[in-house]
């Protein structure tokens, strides 16, 4: 499956979730549900179809997996992921099969932006981290990408995903307590720029999910 075809797969409703995506979710759910004791709040805020942007906080590599598991029966979430992950051919095949979109960090990647806009205009659900990368315990500057996507596809609904506990998933033998909270952001003020929107989304996410560091309790 090439990236263009995978980007279109499973993006309009639960009935079209791709086989690779289902397989990855099946493998991840026992970890997230049993080991992580996940609690999901507000899943009903995620529409089952139509263009949807899901901004999320990012403290752990587990964040996109946990968020996806939380609404696996409702939507397939395509996400912007760092392009270096595609260097591994097996992982690249999995990511393509899941409809993920590679983005080159630290530069204006118009190909990734175009693919993300195409995903949304075809009725897809797109996950994005406004902070751009994992926090690693530091407050990061919000990037404009989330705001630019919202402005490019104004009909898209925005549903934030605040995830906590993921930094503790590997803290054996102590089990983590995962929580994913889906909520709609406050209404946009008149004249808000793309950057200001990204900043506002990040602030609202961090109000629910403060920055956490691996190995520490937040």
Query: pLDDT category, 166, cuts 50, 70, 90?
Result: very high
pLDDT of residue 1: 32
Cα 6–Cα 163–Cα 188 angle in degrees, nearest 5: 80
The pLDDT score that the predictor gives to residue 137 is 85
Say what the pTM is: 0.89
| Structure confidence at residue 91 (pLDDT) | 95
Q: What is the mean pLDDT of the chain?
A: 89
Residue 93, pLDDT above cutoff 60? yes
d(CA 59, CA 167): 7
- Whether the CB-CB separation of 130 and 142 falls below 8 Å is answered with yes
CATH of 3-208 given 3.50.50.60, 3.40.1130.10, 3.40.50.1820, 3.30.420.10: 3.40.1130.10
The pLDDT of 179-205, averaged and rounded, is 97
Domain definitions of the chain by residue range? 3-208
Cβ neighbours of residue 44 under 8 Å, at least 6 residues apart?
none
Q: Give the residue with greater pLDDT, 14 vs 100.
A: 100
Distance of CA 114 to the CA centre of its chain: 17
Average pLDDT over residues 36-58: 97
- What is d(CA 206, CA 218) in angstroms, rounded to the nearest whole number? 12
Q: How much is the pLDDT for 11?
A: 39
Q: pLDDT tens digits, residue range 104-148? A: 876 667 899 999 999 999 999 999 999 988 998 888 999 999 999
């Amino acid at each position: 499956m090439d990236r263009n075809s995978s980007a279109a797969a499973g993006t309009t409703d639960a009935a079209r979730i791709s086989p690779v995506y289902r397989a990855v979710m099946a493998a991840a759910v026992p970890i997230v549900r049993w080991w992580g004791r996940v609690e999901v709040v507000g899943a009903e805020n995620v529409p089952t179809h139509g263009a949807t942007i899901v901004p999320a906080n990012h403290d752990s590599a587990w964040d996109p997996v946990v968020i996806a598991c939380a609404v696996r029966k409702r939507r397939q979430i395509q996400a912007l992921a760092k392009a270096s992950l595609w260097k591994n051919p097996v992982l690249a095949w999995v990511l393509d099969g899941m409809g993920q979109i590679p983005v080159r960090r630290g530069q204006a990647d118009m190909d990734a932006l175009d693919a993300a806009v195409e995903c949304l205009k075809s009725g897809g659900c797109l996950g994005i981290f406004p902070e751009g990368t994992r926090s690693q315990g530091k407050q990061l500057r919000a990037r404009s990408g989330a705001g630019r996507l919202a402005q490019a596809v104004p009909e898209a609904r925005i549903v934030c995903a605040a995830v906590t506990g993921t930094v503790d998933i590997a803290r054996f033998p102590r089990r983590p307590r995962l929580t994913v909270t889906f909520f709609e952001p406050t209404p946009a003020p008149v004249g808000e720029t793309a950057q200001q929107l990204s900043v506002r989304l990040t602030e609202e996410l961090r109000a629910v999910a403060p920055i956490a560091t691996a190995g520490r309790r937040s």
